Structure 1
Amino acid sequence: MNRVFMILTFAGVPLSVIGTLLHWSSILLFIIYCLTIIALASYMGRATESLAVVAGPRIGGLLNATFGNAVELIISIFSLKAGLIGVVLASLTGSVLGNLLLVAGLSFFVGGVKYKRQSFNVYDARHNSGLLMFAVIIAFVIPEVFSMKMDDADTISLSVGISIILIILYLAALFFKLVTHRGVYISDSGKGSVHEEEEPEWGKGKAITVLALATVAVAYVSENLVHTFAAVGESFGWTELFIGVVIVAIVGNAAEHASAVLMAVKNKMDIAVEIAIGSTLQVAMFVAPVLVLVSLLFPTVMPLVFTLPELISMASAVLLMVVISNDGETNWFEGATLLAAYTIMSIGFYLL
């Protein structure tokens, strides 16, 4: 499988560049871009696994989420510059739904097929649950509710204030988990899944280099992929909302998808859960607020105000994940439940 991904990478990246310069068919380019991103995501997954062995599951998962979300951040900044506020908000919604329901669901399902019962750090799960409830249900719902009684200027001011608070709390959460309380809350459930004598596939330097180079390549391909959405959407009957919530989110987060499932297959659920939930928290508490602040530099400013279907979908996903993950254990049926929820929401956004 690694050889297949290697061929796809070394063929896909040059073809992506050539096809872009020669203006090939949008549908053909769409297929090439998607396959190339998936292949590059496999390298990001292998690099993350190597770093996780060296640095631990928390830092490994955080690095994967950061590099994976860097792609989406870059795409969103270009979209903001073009004034595509709706697409950016839809892609943020898609990232939350994709990570909590699709990535976690696939990880729980695929891992659960191989193992009857899988465990992860219950203390981390409960800590993340509180942050998820705050970031999505409070910080995202409040602007929507209050903006009903505000003009545009006050809505932007509220969005900027909430964004600054979210970023500060996210940095505080990282400081809490990685510095002041690192190793304090250790669960017995996951101790047997990663052996201390395990050797990483790549050294620390090589893993970081591969991760960085793959991220740059994914960013380039992803930026060009965005330009094919209009033609592909018209060909397949996809709306702009569906493209933002489902297509952009799936392709933009391909790295997390591949990495989390790979970790689940190897029974490294601490890393898989950290990737899925950690990436969601990073999108909600860092990427979205940063985009609000960056939008102040452009003619069209983005308020932190989502549509009602987007808010209800995200809140439902958070509540479902909290209920499923708070016991620190999972199985294939819980994964199937998350995937079913994602499918129902995807159908809704497709028909909306």
Structure 2
Amino acid sequence: MIIVNRIFLIAVLIGVPFSVIGSLVHLSPILMFVVYSLTIVALSAFMGRATESLSAVAGPRVGGLLNATFGNAVELIISIFALQAGLVNVVLASLTGSVLGNLLLVAGLSFFVGGIKFKRQQFNVFDARHNSGLLTFGIIVAFVIPEVFSMSMEKAETFSLSVGISIILILLYLAALFFKLVTHRGVYSAKKEGGEEAHEEEPEWSAKVSVIVLLVATLAVAYISENLVHTFETVGKQFGWSELFIGVIIVAIVGNAAEHASAVVMAYKNKVAISVEIAMGSTLQIAMFVAPVLVLVSTLFDQRMALVFSMPELVAMVTSVLLSVILLNDGDTNWFEGATLLAAYVIMGIGFYLL
């Protein structure tokens, strides 16, 4: 682990200055796309370590929320710059990719890696069922409704519907946080499922250092993300990638690298409760906060973004939610369930590549 951390440190020390110089002297977009992506992944690793330190003090629920929030901050920043550039389809695709990435790739890798080391891993079944209900609402209800009604609506009416739904989603998400962290905090906890184990771990960094690392890394990611967006068109033409594939696979993986790494590491340490909270919590945050915020932010730009996804995107998200709910609702997991989720992600990835 020490070697990996040193590699990420070297990547940041080289990548950040090179990103600044490369953008100023206009180096090859293909080269800079690679540099920007690797640098964002390295910065995300530091964000993951900082949030892991905070979660050691705050517990798995708050730790998972912090990890998801700062992990999604990267994608939110990338998406805002993409909206400003008029790449609405890329933003919608990246939201789809985040849902698939978190529910299938992150959870799948976590369960697979953790399951190889431990035959059986358990987490709080009450949290899982609570999140499953919100997932069903946030993805199946809130995303399907605009798609269905848009078939009989004008473009302006569809956007108005999206704005209304976005406001409701944000309010319900805030209510869900209030429910979980305030009114019902600890009501459904179960120590044998790992609900309190995070408090026993010594944090790598102090809370002050962690916050500083998070802020600096987020600012650096914001600068690099703006430049990354401008390479999408050239990269897409060079490799034959569609905007859909770039958004669903590339942007989603780069934008969520922090929580991807943290979730897998937590599962390997037999702290699968945090992994589940990261995977499901991040998906909920994408669906019920990030996506609605982007809809509202798009009112500031020439091209507005409605919550209307393509049929392949919608079917892929609904399928991933149903599969995740079925596998996670028992509060128990193993490597085979992880392999099942990963297989579903690969199948969908192939489909989006060939589409």
TM-score scaled by structure 1? 0.96
Aligned match of 1:340: 343
One-letter amino acid of the counterpart of residue 203, structure 1: S
Q: Does 1:140 align with 2:128?
A: no
How far does residue 110 in structure 1 lie from its aligned partner after superposition? 1.2
Aligned match of 1:267: 270
Most deviating of 149-158 and 309-318:
149-158
CA distance in 1, matches of 2:285, 2:231: 27
Question: Equivalent of 2:130, from 127, 142, 147?
Answer: 127
How far does residue 192 in structure 1 lie from its aligned partner after superposition? 8.2
CA distance in 2, matches of 1:39, 1:298: 31
Aligned match of 1:48: 51
Deviations 1:136-158 (A, max 9, x none): 00000011111111112221221
SS of equivalent residue, structure 1 residue 47: helix
Q: Does 1:107 align with 2:110?
A: yes
Aligned match of 1:174: 177
Deviations 1:249-295 (A, max 9, x none): 11111111111111111111111111111111001001111111111
Question: Equivalent of 1:11, from 14, 18, 37?
Answer: 14
How far does residue 229 in structure 1 lie from its aligned partner after superposition? 2.0
Deviations 1:160-215 (A, max 9, x none): 11111101100000000000000110124423882644211111111111122112
Aligned match of 1:207: 210
Most deviating of 341-350 and 36-45:
36-45
Distance 1:101 1:195, change over 3 A: closer
One-letter amino acid of the counterpart of residue 40, structure 1: L
One-letter amino acid of the counterpart of residue 310, structure 2: T
Q: Cα RMSD over matched residues?
A: 1.4
Unaligned runs of 5+ in 2: none
Aligned match of 1:118: 121
Question: Equivalent of 1:77, from 74, 80, 83?
Answer: 80
CA distance in 2, matches of 1:20, 1:195: 41
How far does residue 125 in structure 1 lie from its aligned partner after superposition? 0.4
Deviations 1:46-96 (A, max 9, x none): 111110111111111111111111121122122222222111111111111
Native 8 Å contact 2:53 2:204 kept in 1:
yes
SS of equivalent residue, structure 2 residue 309: coil
Within 5 Å, which residues of 2 pair with 1:57-76? 57-76=60-79
Aligned match of 1:194: 197
Within 5 Å, which residues of 2 pair with 1:305-316? 305-316=308-319
Q: Does 1:229 align with 2:232?
A: yes
Most deviating of 50-59 and 67-76:
67-76
CA distance in 2, matches of 1:48, 1:340: 29
Native 8 Å contact 1:105 1:339 kept in 2:
yes
Aligned match of 1:291: 294
Unaligned runs of 5+ in 1: none
Native 8 Å contact 1:104 1:335 kept in 2:
yes
How far does residue 324 in structure 1 lie from its aligned partner after superposition? 0.8
Deviations 1:96-148 (A, max 9, x none): 11111111111111111121111111111000000000000000001111111
SS of equivalent residue, structure 2 residue 204: coil
Native 8 Å contact 1:193 1:268 kept in 2:
no
Native 8 Å contact 1:49 1:200 kept in 2:
yes
One-letter amino acid of the counterpart of residue 328, structure 1: G
Aligned match of 1:185: 188
Aligned match of 1:254: 257
CA distance in 2, matches of 1:283, 1:47: 21
| Aligned residues between the structures | 352
Native 8 Å contact 2:81 2:229 kept in 1:
no
CA distance in 2, matches of 1:242, 1:9: 27
Distance 1:90 1:196, change over 3 A: closer
Which contiguous aligned blocks of 4+ residues in structure 1 show a shift greater than 6 angstroms?
none
CA distance in 2, matches of 1:324, 1:193: 23
Deviations 1:213-257 (A, max 9, x none): 112222222222222222222222211111011111111111111
Distance 1:79 1:282, change over 3 A: same
Question: Equivalent of 1:95, from 94, 98, 104?
Answer: 98
Aligned match of 1:241: 244
SS of equivalent residue, structure 1 residue 140: helix
SS of equivalent residue, structure 2 residue 193: coil
Most deviating of 26-35 and 13-22:
26-35
TM-score scaled by structure 2? 0.96
Distance 1:196 1:247, change over 3 A: closer
